[in-house]
Amino acid sequence: MYLVRWENSWTPCDGEVTWLVGSSALFGPNATGPDGHTEIVGLDVLRKWRAAQNQRGWPFVTWQSEIMYRRYAADNFSDLGDPLDPLDDVVLSGETLRDWGFYTQLLWGCQPRWAYGVRYEFVRGNGPSLDPAAGFAEISRNDDPFRDTRHRVAPLVAWYPTEFSRFRFQYNFDYAEHIDGKDAHSFWLGAEFVLGAHPAHKF
């Protein structure tokens, strides 16, 4: 598997706004067979504003987005099962699946140690899926929880007790074709800690 990453940042003359643009590519074999391979490419952008007169980085506003595309080339597949029962043979021809998605997020650090934001995510695939429980029969992509079209809106609150830690509370509203009633609600609590030397800031 191979990964390629390029990024570049710059700050205009006022010194309050910084841009970071990057692109990534990941490619290599997949588990469908010797001729199966996958490529994933992405493009991301981050814009950060920090007041010239700030208190340890606050106040700030960051906007970041990323779009990704996956090309999944599945190899031919065959499972002869019981050699004495030709009716249980499964033979599938190779197929190329294409999926893509993106997210965009706005985060506002209005006072020291606190930030508030909102995030939107979208993802979708193409072509039908296969159901192993039904003898690999074709099913609608919208019935596949891994490949259906879905949207997510997520407001969040982040608290930075120190430079080495962050806690985030996030509410997710999901709309997906495979979910009964089409929507779902969840709450997430995340904690991040940095151990060891403080990493250098890129900007």
List, for residues 139-187, the tens digit of each pLDDT value.
667 777 777 889 999 999 999 998 889 999 999 999 998 888 889 999 9
In single-letter form, the type of residue at position 76 comes to N
d(CA 15, CA 99): 38
**Angle at alpha carbon of residue 116, lines to 115 and 119, rounded to 5°:** 125
Confidence of residue 81 (pLDDT cuts 50, 70, 90): low
Express each pLDDT in 49-61 by its tens digit. 998 888 888 999 9
- Determine how many CB atoms are found less than 10 A away from the CB of residue 48: 20
Contact of 104 with 119, CB cutoff 8 Å: yes
Question: In terms of Cα–Cα distance, which of 133, 131, 134, 127 is closest to 148?
Answer: 127
What's the residue count for the chain? 203
Give pTM, 2 decimals: 0.82
- Determine how many CB atoms are found less than 10 A away from the CB of residue 167: 14
Express each pLDDT in 87-111 by its tens digit. 555 666 778 888 999 999 999 999 9
